[in-house]
Amino acid sequence: MRVIIRKTYQEMSREAANLVRKRLLQKNNLVLGLATGSTPLGLYQELIRMHREEGLSFKNVHTFNLDEYFGLLPSHPQSYRYFMDANLFNHIDIDKKNTHVPDGTAADIDAFCFQYEEAIRRAGGIDLQVLGIGGDGHIGFNEPGSSLASRTRMVALDEQTISDNARFFERKEDVPRFAITMGVGTVLEAREIILLANGEKKARVIQLALEGPVTSLISATALQFHQRVTVFLDEAAAGALQRTTYYRFSEEAEKRIGREIF
């Protein structure tokens, strides 16, 4: 696992965008797994800048989003389809037909979840998965207690998740209580993963996710099983880590030998 620490959120986001650009230049038909929420916004803004100012193309890219609220239409301002269109897709040259977000209004949820997994497989699997992390350590909407082998499915949202996301709605009561999410097992099948976190509020859960024991109570700890994970943090989010000196040493070693060390 690579842990990249930068002083500010903006610097952290630029570093993450540089990695996405590098992978896209290596493979122009990259299959990207994407996340929503406030944390990846800086990454998406930098990718938009790279597209506009440097000509970075997403024309052949396919994307699969992690999750979507159950019951929200794609046109709802708090739906994740709306979020992705407004914050990334509408500003780059991606073909909207190649962008996939779970359907929160599917009549047959089980059938839809199976079809979503099949669509990922038909696309060749996810090359690079972008993740944030919830206050309780969840990735996607894999709440505490989620099986580490779980697949795409409907889940009930934890009270902490509902409280954390209430700031995006007029009232806490408006936050949906259910969501469709890729499972932990689905996420772990991505060839490479990047995890983003910023702010002091994420410091403790980041320390547990990266340095604590693997447990279904913190689904992000499952990333310790993956061979190619890069974690991008600002200094506030890295504040509780016990091995910061090693992470910085490892990054310096990468620069000396000119290759990534996982």
State the catalytic residues.
67, 136, 138, 143
Measured CA to CA, the distance from residue 243 to residue 220 in angstroms comes to 18
SS3 244: helix
What distances in angstroms separate CA 21 from CA 6, 12, 44, 138, 250, one per listed residue? Answer: 18, 14, 11, 26, 22
- With CA atoms as reference, report the closest residue to 135 among 156, 155, 165: 165
Q: Which residue has the tokens 């989010």?
A: 237
**Cβ-contact 160, 96 below 8 angstroms:** no
Contacts of range 55-58, beta carbons closer than 8 Å, 24 or more positions apart: 56/21, 56/24, 57/28, 57/93, 58/24, 58/92, 58/93, 58/94
Which residue carries 């772990």 as its tokens? 188
